[in-house]
Amino acid sequence: MLSVALVGVGDMGSAMLPHLVAAGFTVSAYDTEPSRQQAAVIAGAVHSQSAADCARHADLVLCLVMSADIPAALFGENGALTAARPGSVVVVGSTTTPAMARAIEAHAPDGVLLVDAPIVGGVRYAQEKSVTFLVGGQPEAVDMADVALTVLGTVERVGPYGSGVAYKLITNAFVMAAEVGLREALDLTDLLGGDYRTALRLFGVGPMAAVVNRALDESNPRPLRASAEDFDTLLSVVDDPAALPISAAGRNRLWAAVNAEDGYEPMFVDLTRSTTALPGYRKRSQ
């Protein structure tokens, strides 16, 4: 049985950790947040002093940090790549950019195999072992990663290393346009004097039912800020945001929703509420 290092035990990592332990893997874990680190140990992981310590004896390193945290987690002074041993596989589950994927590759020691595996699905899906990994990498590396990833969800092989990152951004462009479209449809509901409850009911019986159901699903929590940051990541890969006008407009609308009320951090479900409406139609959070 492989030994697995879990670097990052936030919302997704903490949801996946119990499945790895239950499957019989020896799991070491590291997070910069002490409370998360402690929770991981209680869940059955071996305590680690750093990402490097976490990765030192692992066959497979699963990195589940935000894109901005990848440098410190992987190739910083105590990053996992500084201690990963030849023959091990480092799997990056972050939604990130091709440039970051290349930076990871440039810092990987000889003999360390890389897999990029961005995740489709949120916390509830991780809890239910039903996320999808968009996996890129050499067949040898992906075969090794499969042993752990298939415990956590479904693996979609999409090409060589870097392909997972690319296809996650491509998928996000479609999905996030639909999500912002939901908010804009409710903006129009306000402008025409309609009722949110009626509008959402009608959306739910049409082709956008899946988008509406996801937005209303409070068992799958996600800060709206994270979705806005995903738009930033998406647009960072093009020289001119005008090349993706729908995504550029969507980013602006989503950040306006995030910043709608001082001191209030909206969740994704707030897209369906008047807390993120246009000025003049907005109601304060309760």
148 assigned to some structural domain: yes
Instruction: Specify the residue for token string 């068992």.
Output: 219
281 assigned to some structural domain: no
139 and 173 co-located in one domain: no
Given this model, what pLDDT does residue 181 score? 96
156 and 170 co-located in one domain: no
Q: Which amino acid is present at 116?
A: D
Q: In whole angstroms, what is the distance from residue 139 CA to residue 93 CA?
A: 17
Whether the per-residue pLDDT at 170 is higher than 90: the answer is: yes
Residues with Cβ within 8 Å of residue 106, at least 6 apart in sequence: none
Choose the final residue of a domain: 160, 184, 205: 160
Residues with Cβ within 8 Å of residue 249, at least 6 apart in sequence: 180
Closest CA to 202 of 224, 231, 182: 182
202 assigned to some structural domain: yes
Mean pLDDT value of segment 254-262? 95
H/E stretch holding 228 reads helix 224-235
283 assigned to some structural domain: no
Whether the per-residue pLDDT at 286 is higher than 60: the answer is: no
285 assigned to some structural domain: no
146 and 219 co-located in one domain: no
| CATH number of the domain within which 154 lies | 3.40.50.720
Q: How many domains does the chain have?
A: 2
Given this model, what pLDDT does residue 206 score? 85
Characterise 263 by phi-psi region: left (phi > 0), alpha (psi -120 to 50), beta (else): left
SS3 (DSSP) at 60: strand
Q: What is the Cα 269 distance to its own chain's centre?
A: 17
Mean pLDDT value of segment 271-275? 96
Given this model, what pLDDT does residue 284 score? 76
Q: What is the pLDDT of residues 212-227, one digit of tens each?
A: 999 999 888 899 999 9
220 assigned to some structural domain: yes
Evaluate whether 5 touches 90 at the Cβ level (below 8 Å): no
132 and 170 co-located in one domain: no
Mean pLDDT for the chain overall = 95
Choose the final residue of a domain: 140, 160, 180: 160
Whether the per-residue pLDDT at 1 is higher than 80: the answer is: no
Q: What is the pTM of this model?
A: 0.91
Evaluate whether 149 touches 124 at the Cβ level (below 8 Å): no
Given this model, what pLDDT does residue 285 score? 66
CA dihedral 70→263→212→179, nearest 10 degrees, is -50
194 and 134 co-located in one domain: no
Given this model, what pLDDT does residue 221 score? 86
185 and 141 co-located in one domain: no
**What is the DSSP code string of 154-196?**
EEEEEESTTHHHHHHHHHHHHHHHHHHHHHHHHHHHHHTT--H
Residues with Cβ within 8 Å of residue 111, at least 6 apart in sequence: 85, 86, 87
Given this model, what pLDDT does residue 219 score? 86
Given this model, what pLDDT does residue 220 score? 85
286 assigned to some structural domain: no
Whether the per-residue pLDDT at 201 is higher than 80: the answer is: yes
Instruction: Give the angle subtended at the CA of 12 by the CAs of 8 and 149, to the nearest 5°.
Output: 90
Percent above pLDDT 90 for the chain: 94
Q: What is the pLDDT of residues 27-82, one digit of tens each?
A: 999 999 999 999 999 999 999 999 999 999 999 999 999 999 999 999 999 999 99
| CATH number of the domain within which 190 lies | 1.10.1040.10
219 and 112 co-located in one domain: no
Closest CA to 73 of 95, 103, 50, 89: 50
CA dihedral 211→214→215→220, nearest 10 degrees, is -160
What are the distances in angstroms from CA 40 to CA 124, 127, 254?
18, 15, 33
User: Where residue 154 falls among pLDDT bands split at 50, 70, 90?
Assistant: very high
Choose the final residue of a domain: 160, 189, 214: 160
Whether the per-residue pLDDT at 149 is higher than 80: the answer is: yes
Given this model, what pLDDT does residue 22 score? 97
153 and 55 co-located in one domain: yes
Note down the domain range covering 237. Answer: 166-276
